[in-house]
């Protein structure tokens, strides 16, 4: 007989400072062996619910009702939670220490810790040949950090595993490896209960046996899985714009970059140009150098090779000060650029401090709020919003300063299909609204070829720090990368 691992009775949660509850009268139960898919629109309360089950919302608001996790007959840890942003929970300096940390605190014998580290890393797709175990966590990509964070939880062998967007930072191959491991865990560990939040429903609908959905501030169980949407199933993108006659905006020549070890280049001999008004997608596997390249382009990583050259509209960019006021960037972790007390103030900051005082009337703060579906959140604290909503605020704030180049690093993180489509459509319309010789350029990194074909005129592909493709995006490009 299956044992109950989750029992939720009349649970409600209200964040401090809000009059309306985020969750209301939730009544659910789960048993060992369950693999539960939890879905809902961006900002509906999915992450709040997982944090509540994981005991992480104790000081964030007021609660009523009860949540009971785990059963007393097991000595295994009751619950382990994977957060949306791996930077929020990866804190050790090496991968080995990160995976070992929880095991050491549980008093697991050293010889077992060693075995569990290797096994947990293999479950998330890291082979022993990669030597990832001994890597500095600060040198990992966002996707690699997410896999390390998941490995640290799998090593604990908990009764309940709560996963908040576990594949949001991962490339398709890494996603497949992680999901295959979760499927294996489901069949091999009958005592494990998994609750997984994702907007990529098609990835897990064959694994999950139950489906929970957030509706009207509560969570209900549905018998059938929701209809999945993909960008490739929407109306096809307009014909590719001819880019050879564009005026050049950004030029990159012979870009080489390495972090602490100058003999180990992360980027090698990268050269390309981006035209004014051009929309360019950047793809590559986790750890291929995408984020490093984006940070070099905006001066966050100063150029150390004298032969490397980056310019925007004729102005050289070698360090951060060269890009201020010219380039807007939204990081994978959009929280890093949020600093105002309200959403309106966040968007107004860039608009009011830009040197371009002759802003067009349709770029007013109210219009930007409306375009990005943020009007009803204008007086909210940005950090009180969901990750997907915070990302929309960051993108809108970057656009409000009217940059000559807008860079988005993984804009899909935390976004449901409708909000993702709406956000990228707004960015595209913003750029298309300019004259050809004044239009800003748009560069975004992604793991989605559908996103690239729908919203980009051109595609750049990185592999192990080298530019291996520069051309028109198409579905066949996946064969090059994955």
Q: For 14-49, what is each residue's pLDDT tens digit?
A: 998 888 999 999 999 999 999 999 998 888 999 999
Tell whether the model's pLDDT for residue 355 goes beyond 60.
no
Structure tokens at 42: 């961006």
User: Is residue 235 assigned to a domain?
Assistant: no
The β-bridge relationship of strands 193-197 and 160-164 is parallel
DSSP code at position 225:
P
pLDDT of residue 345: 93
Check whether residue 77 and residue 162 sit in a common domain: yes
Tell whether the model's pLDDT for residue 146 goes beyond 50.
yes
Q: Count CB neighbours of 10 within 10 A.
A: 11
pLDDT of residue 257: 92
Percent of residues, the chain, with pLDDT higher than 90? 54
Domain boundary at 182, 197, 229, which?
Answer: 229
Structure tokens at 413: 């993180």
Tell whether the model's pLDDT for residue 414 goes beyond 80.
no
Check whether residue 179 and residue 298 sit in a common domain: no
Check whether residue 252 and residue 334 sit in a common domain: yes
Tell whether the model's pLDDT for residue 240 goes beyond 80.
no
Tell whether the model's pLDDT for residue 360 goes beyond 50.
no
Please compute Rg for the chain using Cα positions. 23
Check whether residue 207 and residue 270 sit in a common domain: no
Check whether residue 100 and residue 200 sit in a common domain: yes
User: Is residue 243 assigned to a domain?
Assistant: no
User: Is residue 417 assigned to a domain?
Assistant: yes
Check whether residue 355 and residue 218 sit in a common domain: no
Band (pLDDT 50/70/90 cuts) for residue 233 is: very low
User: Is residue 237 assigned to a domain?
Assistant: no
Q: Which long-range contacts (CB under 8 A, 24 or more apart) does 177-185 make?
A: 177/124, 177/125, 178/124, 178/125, 178/147, 178/150, 179/203, 179/204, 179/207, 181/123, 181/124, 181/125, 181/154, 182/35, 182/207, 183/207, 184/123, 185/123, 185/154
Check whether residue 156 and residue 70 sit in a common domain: yes
Give per-residue pLDDT as tens, 89-100: 999 999 999 999
Angle among Cα 430, 273, 236 to the nearest 5 degrees reads 50
Give per-residue pLDDT as tens, 261-319: 656 789 999 999 999 999 999 999 988 999 999 999 999 999 988 899 999 999 999 99
Kindly report the average pLDDT of the chain as a whole number.
Answer: 87
Check whether residue 206 and residue 342 sit in a common domain: no
User: Is residue 242 assigned to a domain?
Assistant: no
Number of domains in the chain: 2
Tell whether the model's pLDDT for residue 239 goes beyond 50.
no
pLDDT of residue 305: 86
Give per-residue pLDDT as tens, 41-71: 888 999 999 999 999 988 889 999 999 998 8
Which domain does 288 fall in, by range? 248-481
User: Is residue 181 assigned to a domain?
Assistant: yes
Check whether residue 158 and residue 274 sit in a common domain: no
pLDDT of residue 434: 87
Q: Residue with structure tokens 């908990």?
A: 158
Give the three-class secondary structure for 243.
Answer: coil
Phi, psi at 215, each rounded to 5°: -140, 120
pLDDT of residue 230: 57
Check whether residue 220 and residue 289 sit in a common domain: no
Distance, CA of 172 to CA of 169 (rounded, Å):
10
Domain boundary at 229, 259, 277, which?
Answer: 229
Domain boundary at 176, 196, 229, which?
Answer: 229
Between 137-141, 202-206, 242-246, the lowest mean confidence (pLDDT) is in 242-246
Q: Cβ distance 363 to 370 under 8 Å?
A: no
Check whether residue 215 and residue 349 sit in a common domain: no
For the entire predicted model, the pTM comes to 0.82
User: Is residue 105 assigned to a domain?
Assistant: yes
Structure tokens at 190: 């009958």
Phi, psi at 106, each rounded to 5°: -90, -5
Check whether residue 324 and residue 287 sit in a common domain: yes
Q: Cβ distance 329 to 301 under 8 Å?
A: no
Structure tokens at 405: 């180049």
Distance, CA of 453 to CA of 423 (rounded, Å):
16
Q: What separation in angstroms does the CA of 329 have from each of 72, 243, 324, 399?
A: 49, 23, 10, 9
pLDDT of residue 231: 56
Per DSSP, helices labelled H in 82-171 are: 95-105, 110-123, 142-154
The β-bridge relationship of strands 466-471 and 458-463 is antiparallel
Distance, CA of 37 to CA of 196 (rounded, Å):
5
Give per-residue pLDDT as tens, 448-462: 888 899 999 999 999
Average pLDDT (415-429) is 86
- Sequence length of the chain is 482
CATH code of 46's domain: 3.40.50.300
Closest to 410 measured CA to CA, from 166, 102, 68, 171: 171
User: Is residue 79 assigned to a domain?
Assistant: yes
């Amino acid at each position: 007989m299956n044992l109950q691992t989750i029992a939720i009775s009349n649970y409600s949660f209200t964040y401090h400072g809000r009059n309306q509850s985020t969750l209301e009268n939730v009544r659910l139960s789960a048993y060992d062996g369950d693999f539960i898919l939890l879905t809902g629109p961006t900002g509906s309360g999915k992450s709040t619910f997982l944090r509540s089950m994981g005991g992480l919302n104790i000081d964030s608001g007021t609660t009523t009702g009860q949540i009971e996790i785990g059963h007393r007959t097991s000595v295994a840890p009751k619950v382990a939670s994977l957060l949306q942003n791996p930077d929020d929970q990866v804190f050790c300096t090496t991968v080995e220490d990160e995976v070992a940390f929880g095991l050491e605190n549980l008093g697991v014998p050293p010889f077992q810790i060693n075995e569990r580290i290797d096994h947990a890393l293999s479950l998330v797709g890291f082979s022993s040949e990669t030597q990832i175990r001994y890597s500095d966590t600060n040198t990992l990509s966002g996707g690699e950090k997410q896999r390390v964070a998941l490995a640290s939880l799998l090593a604990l062998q908990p009764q309940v595993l709560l996963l908040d967007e576990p594949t949001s930072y991962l490339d398709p191959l890494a996603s497949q490896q992680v999901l295959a491991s979760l499927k294996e865990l489901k069949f091999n560990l009958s005592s494990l209960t998994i609750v997984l939040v994702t907007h990529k429903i098609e990835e897990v609908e064959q694994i999950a046996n139950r489906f929970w959905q957030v509706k009207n501030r509560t969570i209900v169980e549905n018998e059938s899985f929701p209809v999945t949407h993909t960008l490739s199933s929407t109306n096809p993108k307009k014909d590719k714009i001819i880019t050879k006659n564009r005026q050049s905006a950004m030029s990159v020549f012979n870009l080489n970059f390495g972090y602490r070890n100058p003999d180990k280049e992360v980027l090698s001999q990268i050269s390309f140009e981006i035209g004014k008004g051009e929309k360019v997608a950047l793809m590559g596997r986790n750890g291929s150098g995408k984020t490093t390249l984006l940070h070099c382009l905006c001066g966050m990583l100063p150029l150390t090779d004298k032969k490397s050259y980056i310019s925007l509209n004729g102005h050289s960019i070698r360090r951060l000060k060269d890009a201020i006021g010219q380039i807007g960037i939204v990081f994978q972790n959009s929280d890093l650029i949020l600093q105002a007390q309200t959403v309106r103030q966040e968007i107004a900051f860039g608009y009011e401090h830009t040197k371009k005082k002759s802003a067009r009337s349709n770029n007013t703060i109210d219009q930007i709020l409306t375009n990005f579906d943020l009007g009803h959140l204008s007086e909210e604290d940005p950090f009180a919003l969901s990750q997907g909503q915070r990302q929309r605020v960051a993108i809108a704030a970057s656009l409000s300063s009217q940059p000559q180049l807008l860079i988005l690093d993984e804009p899909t993180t935390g976004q449901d299909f409708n909000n993702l489509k709406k956000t990228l459509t707004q960015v595209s319309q913003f750029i298309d609204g300019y004259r050809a010789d004044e239009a800003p350029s748009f560069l975004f990194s992604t793991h989605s070829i559908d996103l690239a074909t729908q919203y980009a005129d051109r595609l750049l592909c990185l592999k192990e720090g080298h530019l291996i493709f520069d051309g028109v995006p198409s579905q066949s490009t996946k064969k090059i990368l994955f």
